[in-house]
Amino acid sequence: MDRTDRTERQPHRAARVADEPGTAACAADEPDRTAYTADELIAFENEVAAAFNAGRIRAPVHLYSGNEAQMIEVFESIGPRDWVFCSWRSHYQCLLKGVPRDEVMAEILAGRSISLCFPRHRIYSSAIVGGVLPVAVGTALAIQRGADDARVHCFMGEMTAETGIAHEAIKYSRNHRLPIRFIVEDNGKSVCTDTRQAWNQPVLSFEGRRDDFIHHYRYETRYPHAGAGVRVQF
Ligand SMILES: Cc1ncc(C[n+]2csc(CCOP(=O)(O)OP(=O)(O)O)c2C)c(N)n1
Ligand SMILES: [Mg+2]
């Protein structure tokens, strides 16, 4: 088994052994598997939902819905050599970044949905709120110093975007002109809490922003924060 095989099966270990930005083995030269329609993305989440509700996944899953068009648009400007960082909710990003559908599904069924990492495809996730932000900024800084032309795309929910760590990461990136874009995915909720009510702020900090560093979009999901509607005891 070569190192690539091992790292693909052990995502947490893989995150530690990945090479420097710009030099890591990457799937850029493989056939393009990134073209998904909205219906295909929805069908993927439906399949995960059915498996979860049937008790076949013994760990949390966080599903997307209602943001397929926005996600496909965001990925139009993400290249195979770019780096993508995500939260606990990352199935669509993994598919659109080019990780084969079967591989993504296998990791989810194995209970790793909340922290999907595929180093060869340059996509990393963490279920810690704000956890990937400094890593994404550091990756962008390394790219800038190495004069690579890859970019970093860092996804986060709208509550994460209101935290101190997000404000610092965005301020640093902007001021240093780092090759990074933050995508704020606004479903209005932090688990069950209304984000705007929580901050007593009808217009969120990055709401409506579309510039080189921020891409904010709103969506309405039909899934609960976690799971797919059936209480499953692990
Ligand atoms: C450091 C930390 N604190 C709390 C949690 C629990 N938690 C998980 S998701 C979440 C809400 C995040 O909301 P948002 O950023 O809007 O993302 P969404 O799930 O809506 O996409 C919280 C508080 C966590 N995972 N990590
Ligand atoms: Mg949210």
- 119: domain CATH number? 3.40.50.970
Query: Quick one: which of 85, 90, 73 has its CA closest to 37?
Result: 73
3-state secondary structure of 66: coil
In this prediction, residue 77 carries a pLDDT of 95
Number of compact structural domains in the chain:
1
Question: Residue 12 pLDDT more than 70?
Answer: no
Kindly state whether residue 117 falls inside one of the protein's structural domains.
Answer: yes
89-109 pLDDT per residue, tens = 999 999 999 999 999 999 999
Kindly state whether residue 112 falls inside one of the protein's structural domains.
Answer: yes
Question: Residue 22 pLDDT more than 90?
Answer: no
Kindly state whether residue 232 falls inside one of the protein's structural domains.
Answer: no
- Predicted TM-score of the model (pTM): 0.89
In this prediction, residue 99 carries a pLDDT of 97
In which element (H, E) is residue 186 found?
strand 180-186
223 — pLDDT class (breaks 50, 70, 90): very high
Kindly state whether residue 22 falls inside one of the protein's structural domains.
Answer: yes
34 — pLDDT class (breaks 50, 70, 90): confident
- Tell me which of 190, 221, 222 to substitute to probe ligand 1's pocket, judged by most ligand atoms within 8 Å of the beta carbon: 190
In this prediction, residue 209 carries a pLDDT of 92
Question: Residue 147 pLDDT more than 80?
Answer: no
Q: Which ligand is nearest to the CA of 126?
A: 1
Kindly state whether residue 224 falls inside one of the protein's structural domains.
Answer: no
Kindly state whether residue 226 falls inside one of the protein's structural domains.
Answer: no
Query: Quick one: which of 86, 91, 88 has its CA closest to 60?
Result: 88
C-alpha distances out from residue 81 to 29, 153, 183, 215, Å:
10, 11, 18, 20
Question: Residue 23 pLDDT more than 60?
Answer: no
Specify the ligand 1 atom closest to the Cα of 195: 16
Question: Residue 32 pLDDT more than 70?
Answer: no
Residue with tokens 């996944």: 57
Q: CB-hemisphere CA count at 13 Å for 4? A: 7
Q: Which ligand is nearest to the CA of 187?
A: 2
Q: Report, as an integer, the average pLDDT of 202-217.
A: 96
Question: Residue 10 pLDDT more than 70?
Answer: no
Question: Residue 11 pLDDT more than 60?
Answer: no
Kindly state whether residue 53 falls inside one of the protein's structural domains.
Answer: yes
Least confident residue range of 22-31, 51-60, 115-124, 184-193 = 22-31
Kindly state whether residue 231 falls inside one of the protein's structural domains.
Answer: no
Give the separation between CA 223 and CA 64, rounded to whole angstroms.
7
Q: What is the DSSP letter of 179?
A: S
List pocket residues of ligand 1, CB cut-off 6 Å. Answer: 88-89, 127-129, 156-160, 185, 187, 189-191, 195, 225
Domain span at 78: 3-218
The chain-wide mean pLDDT, for the chain, equals 90
Q: What is the DSSP letter of 152?
A: E
Query: Quick one: which of 68, 60, 65 has its CA closest to 45?
Result: 65
